[in-house]
């Protein structure tokens, strides 16, 4: 009987020690990364690292330096480092010496762009899109479900005449604009999402999608039209897809803070062009905050309403009503939502108007950004938001204006693990450690119990077990 008690006692002690060890592992993982890995549905579950933006800038610099005849695009590799496609060994050496990876390819960017120009000159087919796939060194032509067999056959004939640098692919769904982003803005018969706040130095504007409405479109913060936001004063669509909504209600927020829902914000401190493979966030008034990566640049989409070129192609999902919403990485503005195919249940392809091109054409820049809390990189992990807040505050701006690189300070979103500047942030941060701490506590209590309850001794009522 004593044997059994001692064996049970040893097992209990081992279990307690195991609980403490497992709890410690859980706590250390929570401290190292408060976000799970990316999900296929586009949930914002991976925090963007400052290195993503640094390597994107390195890749852009190398491509600009070497030129379109010696390079064929760039991307962020699986190891997080910049990769530059080059056409000769000398260019490869320069890329490697600069700290990026070089991949020698057959076709230069000049040849790939020539292929896209040939496609543009062919008879327009609504429901098709194409972009340079830098990783495969090809121009990929997509055809949605609305493209007939005869139309697709004619497109194949054009591609065949170009050569081996063109690849044809069919896709499900239809390429549509997403009119129905961070904040909802309403007009008669439609809804879009506010993108980024911008300024011409005298007045404040919302930068959003051009297909949301022509010049003179009135926008409101509610479906009843009780709270005026502003009026569209410049719209460019098709061709490009951007517009300016001038604020008429000065009480609305025109700061450089991007509202991504549920009381959470990100400070925008600059604007830049993305690089293929870069991890990005998108926010919209229908599907909330989502994440994914850039898959191609300078994409052309043949919407039913017309052709739009120079777009950013991504695998981030979007839905009707997300049009005009912001695309960003770290604190850097990248684009506004144009359109695509699919949804946030099955996934899809979404295209964005680059903000640098839009701001240059419009003569506006991002407003001055406030200093970031803590001046250190934070973790941007948050649950998706359904965008029910009716306040049309617009989105964020930043220092520098069009094409500015901006600060590399990571976004700190109130109420999430990067933020300890508020009670909500402290609670959220503590909750991420909860399961591990609970397991450690249970293990310590169990271990303490094994020390106090010693097997093999008989206790007598009214006397200490240490007395003889």
What's the mean per-residue pLDDT of the chain?
76
**Length in residues, the chain:** 468
The more confident residue out of 122 and 442 is: 122
The more confident residue out of 306 and 440 is: 306
Amino acid 53: pLDDT: 66
Amino acid 185: pLDDT: 82
Q: Work out the burial of residue 188: count CB atoms within 10 Å of its CB; fewer than 13 is exposed, 13-18 middle, 19 or more buried.
A: exposed
Overall average pLDDT of the 424-448 stretch = 58
Residues contacting 356, CB < 8 A, separation 6+: 271, 272, 273, 402, 403
The more confident residue out of 14 and 185 is: 185
Q: Is residue 253 flagged as an active site residue?
A: no
Q: Is the pLDDT score of 1 beyond 60? A: no
Overall average pLDDT of the 441-459 stretch = 64
- Among residues 323, 365, 372, 407, the one annotated as catalytic is 323
Overall average pLDDT of the 211-229 stretch = 90
- Among residues 43, 133, 144, 241, the one annotated as catalytic is 241
**Backbone phi, psi, residue 109, to 5°:** -65, -30
Amino acid 67: pLDDT: 96
Q: Is residue 160 flagged as an active site residue?
A: no
What band does 246 get if pLDDT is binned at 50, 70 and 90? very high
Amino acid 230: pLDDT: 93
Q: Is the pLDDT score of 39 beyond 80? A: no
Amino acid 300: pLDDT: 97
- Three-state SS for 316-340 is CCCCCCCCCCEEEECCEEEEEEEEE
Overall average pLDDT of the 133-140 stretch = 95
Amino acid 146: pLDDT: 93
Model confidence over 140-161: pLDDT tens digits? 999 999 999 999 999 999 999 9
How far apart CA 105 and CA 70 sit, in angstroms, is 10
Q: Is the pLDDT score of 458 beyond 80? A: no
Residues contacting 174, CB < 8 A, separation 6+: 127, 144, 145, 146, 341
Q: Is the pLDDT score of 104 beyond 70? A: yes
Amino acid 176: pLDDT: 83
The more confident residue out of 49 and 318 is: 318
- Among residues 211, 273, 283, 432, the one annotated as catalytic is 211
Residues linked to residue 340 through DSSP beta bridges, in sequence order = 176, 350
Q: Is the pLDDT score of 371 beyond 50? A: no
Amino acid 33: pLDDT: 38
Amino acid 160: pLDDT: 93
How far apart CA 443 and CA 20 sit, in angstroms, is 5
- The CA-CA-CA angle for residues 25, 29, 35, to 5°, reads 150
Overall average pLDDT of the 419-434 stretch = 42
How far apart CA 358 and CA 366 sit, in angstroms, is 12
Q: Rounded to whole angstroms, what are the CA distances from 354 to 25, 77, 272?
A: 42, 22, 8
Q: Is residue 251 flagged as an active site residue?
A: no
Q: Is the pLDDT score of 9 beyond 90? A: no
Which range, of 111-115, 249-253, 433-437, 459-463, averages the lowest pLDDT? 459-463
- Provide the 10 A C-beta neighbour count for residue 352: 29
- Three-state SS for the chain is CHHHHHHHHHHHHHHHHHHHHHHHHHHHHHHHCCCCCCCCCCCCCCCCCHHHHHHHHHHHHHHHHHCCCCEEEEEECCCCCEEEEECCHHHHHHHHHCCCEEEECCCCHHHHHHHHHHHHHCCCCCCEEEEEECCCCEEEEEECCCCCHHHHHHHHHHHHHHCCCEEEEECCCCCEECCCCCCEEEECCEEEECCEEEECCCCEEEEECHHHCCCCCEEECCCCCCCEEEEEEEEECCECCEEEEEECCCCCCCCCEEEEECCEEEECCEECCCCECCEEEEEECCCEEEEEEEEEEEEEEEECCEEEEEEEEECCCCCCCCCCCEEEECCEEEEEEEEEEEECCCEEEEEEEEHHHHHHHHCCECCCCCCCHHHCCCCCCCCCCCCCCCCCCCCCCCCCCCCCCCCCCCCCCCCCCCCCCCHHHHHHHHHCCHHHHHHHHHHHHHHHHHHHCCCCCCCCCCCCCCCC
Highest-confidence segment of 179-183, 352-356, 431-435: 352-356
Overall average pLDDT of the 297-305 stretch = 94
- The CA-CA-CA angle for residues 437, 443, 445, to 5°, reads 105
What band does 291 get if pLDDT is binned at 50, 70 and 90? very high
Q: Nearest to residue 313, comparing CAs of 154, 160, 427, 171?
A: 171
Q: Nearest to residue 17, comparing CAs of 439, 387, 342?
A: 439
Asked whether 141 and 168 are in contact (CB, 8 A), the reply is yes
What token pair was written down for 304? Answer: 């039913």
Amino acid 374: pLDDT: 29
Q: Nearest to residue 385, comparing CAs of 448, 314, 331, 321?
A: 321
Asked whether 330 and 324 are in contact (CB, 8 A), the reply is no
């Amino acid at each position: 009987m004593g044997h059994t008690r001692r064996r049970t006692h040893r097992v209990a002690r081992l279990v307690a020690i195991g609980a403490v060890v497992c709890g410690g592992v859980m706590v250390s993982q929570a401290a190292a990364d408060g976000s799970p890995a990316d999900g296929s549905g586009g949930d914002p579950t991976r925090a963007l690292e400052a290195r993503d933006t640094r390597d994107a800038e390195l890749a852009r610099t190398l491509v600009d330096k070497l030129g379109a005849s010696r390079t064929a695009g760039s991307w962020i590799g699986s190891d997080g480092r910049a990769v530059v496609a080059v056409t000769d060994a000398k260019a490869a050496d320069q890329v490697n010496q600069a700290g990026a990876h070089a991949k020698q390819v057959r076709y230069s960017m000049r040849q790939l762009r020539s292929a896209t120009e040939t496609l543009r000159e062919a008879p327009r087919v609504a429901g098709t899109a194409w972009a340079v796939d830098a990783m495969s060194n090809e121009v990929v032509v997509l055809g949605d479900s609305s493209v007939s067999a005869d139309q697709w056959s004619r497109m194949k004939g054009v591609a065949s005449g170009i050569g081996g640098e063109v690849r044809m692919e069919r896709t499900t769904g239809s390429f549509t604009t997403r009119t129905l982003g961070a904040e909802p803005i309403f007009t008669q018969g439609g809804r879009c999402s506010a993108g980024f706040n911008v300024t011409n130095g005298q007045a404040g504007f919302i930068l959003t999608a051009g297909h949301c409405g022509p010049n003179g479109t009135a926008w409101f913060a509610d479906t009843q039209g009780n709270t005026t936001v502003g009026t569209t004063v410049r719209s460019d669509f098709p061709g490009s897809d951007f517009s300016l909504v001038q604020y008429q209600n000065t009480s609305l927020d025109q700061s450089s803070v991007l509202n991504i829902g549920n009381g959470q914000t990100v400070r925008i401190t600059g604007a830049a062009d993305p690089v293929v493979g870069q991890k990005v966030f998108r926010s919209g008034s229908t599907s909330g905050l989502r994440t994914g990566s850039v898959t191609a640049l300078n994409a052309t989409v043949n919407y039913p309403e017309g052709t739009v070129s120079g777009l950013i192609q991504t695998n981030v999902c979007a839905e009707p009503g997300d049009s005009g919403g912001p695309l960003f990485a770290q604190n850097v503005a990248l684009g506004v939502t144009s359109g695509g195919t699919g949804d946030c249940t099955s996934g899809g392809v979404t295209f964005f108007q680059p903000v640098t091109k839009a701001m240059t054409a419009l003569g506006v820049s991002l407003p001055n950004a406030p200093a970031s809390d803590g001046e250190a990189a934070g973790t941007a992990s948050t649950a998706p938001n359904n965008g029910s807040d009716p306040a049309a505050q617009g989105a964020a701006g930043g220092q520098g204006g069009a094409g500015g690189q901006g600060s590399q300070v990571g976004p700190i979103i109130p109420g999430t693990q990067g933020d300890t500047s508020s009670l909500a942030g402290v609670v959220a941060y503590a909750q991420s450690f909860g399961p591990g701490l609970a397991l450690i506590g249970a293990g310590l209590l169990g271990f303490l119990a094994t020390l106090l309850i010693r097997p093999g001794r008989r206790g007598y009522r009214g006397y200490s077990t240490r007395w003889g």
